[in-house]
Copies of this chain bind each other. A is one copy, B any other.
Amino acid sequence: MGGILNGMRVVEGSAFVAVPLAGLTLAQMGAEVIRFDRIEGGLDAGRWPLAPSGQSLFWAGLNKGKKSVAVDMRSEEGRELITRIITGGGEDAGLFITNLRVRGWMDHPTLSERRSDLVMVTLMGDRHGRPQVDYTVNPALGIPDMTGPEGHDAPVAHALPAWDVAAGGMVVNALLAAERHRLRTGEGQDVELSLKDVAAATIGHLGLIGEAATSGRARPKSGNALYGAYGQDFVCSDGRRVMVIGLTDRQWRGLVNVTGTGEAMAALAAETGTDLGDEGNRYRLRHRITSALAPWFGQRDLDAVAAALEDAGVTWAPFRTVPEALAEDPDLSEDNPMFRMLDQAGLGRFPVPGSPVTFSGFARQDPEGAPRLGQHTEEILSEVAGLDDADIARLYDRGVVAGGARKSARDAA
C-alpha cells in the first residue's frame, strides 16, 4: 500500500544525527530518500556504537530504507553526478536536505540554476555557519548546569543528542512546509536553520529564557524531581527504582491514595500552611513529600509497587538500563507493531523500529535495514542521473563512483 509520502524523492547529503534522522523520518513515511556519500563513506561511517563485527550500529540505524550512492566529489565528474541527482526527477523530486554546507557547486544559487524549483534545506551548526554539535550547543545554553543530582557541583551533559533529534524534526517540518508552498506556486526555496538556533528557540519556548531574565538566577539542579510540581524517583525493597508522577491533580490524588499518605499530607499542609493542591507547593515541599512517600516504596518490591500503581491508575515507570528495557518491555519488541525483528548482516539480530506514526489510510510499513555504502549507485546513475550502461561502466572504472555489485566496465559486457 505504501506510505503517505509515496512518490516523493528526497536527496540527502549528510553526516551524524540530525539530517540523517530527517531523511529516515521521510523514508519511513514512504519517500524515496537517496543519501550520497564519499567513496570512503561519510564522517559518520564508523560512528559508535559498533556491532561486534566493527560495523556501525549508529550508521545502520539512521540510514534504514534509504538508497546509498557513493561518489568521488573531488572530481568534476562526481560533482556533476551529484548535481544531476539533486536536481533530477519530476515535480515530486528536487528536494535536498543537507548539513554539509559546500559553497559553490552544491549551494542553492548554483543548484537552482539547474532546477529553479529546487527546495533545499541546510542545517548549520550555528547561525554564523560555524560547526557546532549537540555536545557544544547544550553547555553553551545552560542545560547541563541545571541537570544532575541536587547539590552536585559540576554540569551534567545529556547522553541523548536531544538537540540533534529536535533539529532533525525541524528539517522535516521545513522541507514539507516548503514543498507544500511549491505545490501551490511552483516556487523553489532556500531554507536554512541551525542546531544552535533550534536549541535557543526551544529553551525560549519552554520559558527558560524568561525565567533567567525575570529571576536573574540559574535554576538549581533538582536531581530526578519533576520540575515545578511533584514527581520523584523511589527505590523499592529489591533495589529497583521507579519514577512516580504527581503533576496533575488527578495524578497527585492517585499517588496519595495508593500510598495511604492522605493523613500525612494533610498534616504537612497544616504544619506548613500551604495547599498541596497547588502544583508549585508540591514542588517546594518535595523533600517532605518524598520522605512521607518513601517508606511505602521501600517496603515493596518492584512487582508489588507496579501492581499497586497500575491498579490505582498512577502515572509511573520503572528505571531500566537499555538491556533491561529490551528484556522487560514489550514496547521494545514485536509485540509493538512499530518493531520488526531483523537479522542484519554484520550487525546482528535485534528489534528495529519503523515510523512511530500511523496513518489510517495506510498500512504500517515494516522497517527496512540500511543499505551498504554505494549499494544503489548503479541504479541511481541510471534512473535518476540518466546515464547509459557504458557511461556508468566508465565511471566505475575510473573510480568516480563505487558500490553495489558492479565493479568495472567488464561487468557491463
Interface residues of A (CB under 8 A from B): 4-5, 17, 21, 24-25, 29, 43, 46-52, 56-58, 60-62, 64, 108, 125-127, 130-133, 135-137, 139-149, 152, 154-162, 165-166, 168-170, 172-174, 176-181, 183, 187, 189-194, 196-198, 200-219, 221, 223-224, 226-229, 231, 233, 241, 243, 245, 247-248, 251, 279-280, 283, 315-326, 329, 331-332, 336, 338-339, 347-361
Taking CB atoms, residues of chain B closer than 8 Å to A243 are 135-136, 139, 157
The answer to whether A360 and B323 have CB atoms under 8 Å apart is no
Known: A170-B356, A192-B357. A139 touches B245 (CB 8 A): no
Interchain residue pairs with CB less than 8 A apart (22):
A4-B180, A4-B189, A29-B173, A48-B283, A57-B210, A61-B204, A61-B207, A130-B315, A133-B245, A133-B315, A135-B243, A139-B243, A145-B320, A146-B159, A147-B147, A147-B157, A160-B162, A193-B357, A201-B353, A204-B351, A217-B323, A219-B322
**CB < 8 Å neighbour of A50 from B145, B212, B280:** B280
Determine how many copies of this chain the complex contains. Answer: 2
Known contacts A125-B315, A136-B317; 18 additional CB pairs below 8 A are A5-B180, A17-B206, A57-B214, A133-B245, A135-B243, A135-B245, A139-B319, A140-B319, A140-B325, A143-B159, A145-B321, A155-B241, A155-B319, A166-B169, A172-B173, A197-B331, A197-B336, A218-B323
**CB < 8 Å neighbour of A57 from B169, B192, B207:** B207
Taking CB atoms, residues of chain B closer than 8 Å to A108 are 360
Known: A243-B135, A322-B141. A206 touches B61 (CB 8 A): yes
Shortest CB distance A121–B (Å): 8
In the assembly, what is the distance between CA of A50 and CA of B228, in Å? Answer: 9
In the assembly, what is the distance between CA of A349 and CA of B212, in Å? Answer: 11
Shortest CB distance A255–B (Å): 13
The answer to whether A353 and B158 have CB atoms under 8 Å apart is no
Chain B residue at minimal CB-CB distance from A21? B205
In the assembly, what is the distance between CA of A229 and CA of B42, in Å? Answer: 15
Q: Which 6 A-B pairs have the closest CB atoms?
A: A169-B169, A48-B228, A213-B350, A57-B207, A162-B162, A218-B321
The answer to whether A61 and B210 have CB atoms under 8 Å apart is yes
Known: A140-B320, A320-B141. A326 touches B212 (CB 8 A): yes
Chain B residue at minimal CB-CB distance from A58? B207
Taking CB atoms, residues of chain B closer than 8 Å to A170 are 25, 169, 356-357
In the assembly, what is the distance between CA of A10 and CA of B124, in Å? Answer: 29
In the assembly, what is the distance between CA of A47 and CA of B348, in Å? Answer: 45
Known: A48-B227, A52-B214, A61-B204. A173 touches B357 (CB 8 A): yes
The answer to whether A360 and B191 have CB atoms under 8 Å apart is yes
The answer to whether B200 and A319 have CB atoms under 8 Å apart is no
Shortest CB distance A333–B (Å): 10
The answer to whether B139 and A147 have CB atoms under 8 Å apart is no
Taking CB atoms, residues of chain B closer than 8 Å to A57 are 207, 210-211, 214
